[in-house]
Structure formats: C-alpha cells, structure tokens
Amino acid sequence: MSTTRRKFIKDSVRASAAVAVGTSFIFTESTAQAPATTTLQFAQIPLPYAFNALEPNIDALTMEIHYGKHHATYVKNVNEAIAADKIVYENEKDFFANASKLSAKARNNGGGVYNHNFFWQAMKPNGGGVPAGKVSDALNGAFGSFDKFKEQFNDAAMKRFGSGWAWLINDGGKLKIGSTPNQDNPLMDISELKGTPVLALDVWEHAYYLKYQNKRNEYVAHWWNTINWDEVAKNLK
Ligand code: MN
C-alpha cells in the first residue's frame, strides 16, 4: 500500500471517529438513556449436516424438531431476556461466568443455546469409532483406557435424573466427567462441574423419545456412533 493511500485511510478513520464522537455526544444529551453499545445476542450455528445425516443413530424427525423447534426457541427466549433484563455482558463466556446473577429465563435459555451449538458440532455423519492421536492419549491418560472413559461417561449420562447433560470437561488441564441439570453447563458459576467443555451429550427426553422412547441407554449407545473426534480434538486445545 502506498504511503499516500495509508495516510488517506488514517485520516478517514480519524474523521469518522470524530463524527462518531460528535453524534454520540449529541445523542447522550438529548435522550435519557443511550442504548448499550455492545449487546450480546445468542444465535444458532447452521447445522453442519442434514437432518437425516445421523440416521440410523439419531432420526431425522428428532433432529428437525430438536434443532428447528427446541434450539430455536432457546435463542428467541434468551434474546428476549437479554433485552428485558438489560443484560450487557459482552460475550457468552462472561454471561455464563455470571449465571448466578441472571434471571431463570436468561440462564436456562442461554445455556440451551450454547449447549446445543456445542452438541451439534461434536457429531457428524459416519462418526464414532475409537479416537486416535492426542484424544486417545488424553483419554488413556485420564481414565486408563477408552473403554473405561466410555463406561464413566455412560454412567454420567444414565445417572442424570430427569433432564440434563453429560460432559467431558477440561478443568485446568485435568479431564473430568460429570453431568449438569436442565440447561446448566460447566461454564456457569453456579455449576458444581466447572471447566471447559470437550464433549457433551444431551440426555433430555426430547433428544431421543421419538425413536428410543424410555430407553435412554439405547440412545446413548447409538450416539457413540456419531461423535466427531476431530472436533473433540479441537476442544481439547
Ligand atoms: Mn436438547
């Protein structure tokens, strides 16, 4: 870039900054309440595969309702709560770290959005199998073997009474397995299980009832065939 062009851009930035400051000054004087400059908005990630892509492990109708109705409703509700409660956290991390101060609507629906976005990404068509590389090393190191890890994770998923989530988390470099009730997650200050999510499993009945009815164990067993271990590797960092 030429020096002249660079100078032009610099001057333009300065000029627009001056305009912005001027506008904001006038606005603040003439209105009782200036709008927050940054408002956190939650959003659904685009589903990284088709509704029927996880068949036969997770059926298309369940995916369509789960993503299109349940997850979408959490988005609508949390954004309503953010507006109504005048929540000004700048990002999801701060929002969850202050979960104890949020209304039930903000906390439950915010958790609902985050947890599902995380869940969709950690699945893929023709997933599953036994992980290799650093995921394998990390699981063997923390739990002794992949089978022992799987057994503990299944246990967390089966013992969560009612609605909730099973998690593999990184708690300051240590991998741990646990579960949370409702739409709570390990990023929330109110959660007993705290850390960075690595893998999550939705054990709400809405995640499996159409295909598996009351048989949560069958749903959990089939979910292992959908895991996107490359995504898990990314979450390990
Ligand atoms: Mn769900």
Q: Tokens for 129?
A: 């199998």
What residues sit around ligand 1, an ion, with C-beta below 5 angstroms? 202, 204, 207
CA of 73 to the centre of ligand 1 (A): 11
CA of 70 to the centre of ligand 1 (A): 7
Judge whether residue 2 has pLDDT over 70: no
CA of 129 to the centre of ligand 1 (A): 23
146 lies in some domain: yes
37 lies in some domain: no
Q: Please tell me whether residue 110 adopts helix, strand or coil conformation.
A: helix
CA of 216 to the centre of ligand 1 (A): 13
- Rounded-to-10 torsion of CA 47, 49, 51, 53: -150
Amino acid at 49: Y
Largest CA distance in the chain: 70
- Of the pLDDT bands very low, low, confident and very high (cuts 50, 70, 90), residue 237 is confident
CA of 206 to the centre of ligand 1 (A): 6
Q: Once rounded to an integer, what is the mean pLDDT over residues 97-103?
A: 98
CA of 66 to the centre of ligand 1 (A): 6
CA of 21 to the centre of ligand 1 (A): 44
Distance CA 212, CA 206 (A): 10
Amino acid at 151: E
Distance CA 164, CA 184 (A): 8
Cβ pair 229, 146 in contact under 8 A: no
227 lies in some domain: yes
Report the share of the chain in percent with pLDDT over 70: 84
Judge whether residue 39 has pLDDT over 90: no
Amino acid at 191: S
127 lies in some domain: yes
Which pLDDT score is estimated for 33? 54
CA of 141 to the centre of ligand 1 (A): 30
CA of 196 to the centre of ligand 1 (A): 19
CA of 199 to the centre of ligand 1 (A): 15
CA of 214 to the centre of ligand 1 (A): 16
183 lies in some domain: yes
Contacts of 29 (CB under 8 A, 6+ apart): none
Which pLDDT score is estimated for 6? 45
Distance CA 88, CA 43 (A): 16
7 lies in some domain: no
CA of 189 to the centre of ligand 1 (A): 21
CA of 93 to the centre of ligand 1 (A): 20
Which pLDDT score is estimated for 118? 98
Per-residue pLDDT reduced to its tens digit, 74-87: 999 999 999 999 99
Q: Please tell me whether residue 165 adopts helix, strand or coil conformation.
A: strand
Average per-residue pLDDT in the chain?
89
Number of domains in the chain: 1
Per-residue pLDDT reduced to its tens digit, 47-95: 999 999 999 999 999 999 999 999 999 999 999 999 999 999 999 999 9
pTM: 0.84
The DSSP symbol for 100 reads G
Judge whether residue 12 has pLDDT over 90: no
CA 33 vs. chain centroid, Å, equals: 32
Q: Once rounded to an integer, what is the mean pLDDT over residues 219-235?
A: 98
CA of 231 to the centre of ligand 1 (A): 19
Distance CA 51, CA 62 (A): 8
Write out the DSSP string of 51-82. Answer: TTTTTTTS-HHHHHHIIIIIIHHHHHHHHHHH
Which structural domain range is residue 121 located in?
A: 59-237
5 lies in some domain: no
Distance CA 127, CA 13 (A): 48
Element (H, E) at 175: strand 174-181
Residues 115, 120, 121, 124, CA torsion sign: positive
Which pLDDT score is estimated for 7? 42
Cβ pair 190, 157 in contact under 8 A: no
Per-residue pLDDT reduced to its tens digit, 148-204: 999 999 999 999 999 999 999 999 999 999 999 999 999 999 999 999 999 999 999
Which pLDDT score is estimated for 73? 98
For residue 199, the domain's CATH number is: 3.55.40.20
Q: Which residue has the higher pLDDT, 208 or 39?
A: 208
10 lies in some domain: no
Distance CA 191, CA 185 (A): 7
Q: Which residue has the higher pLDDT, 218 or 4?
A: 218
Which pLDDT score is estimated for 13? 41
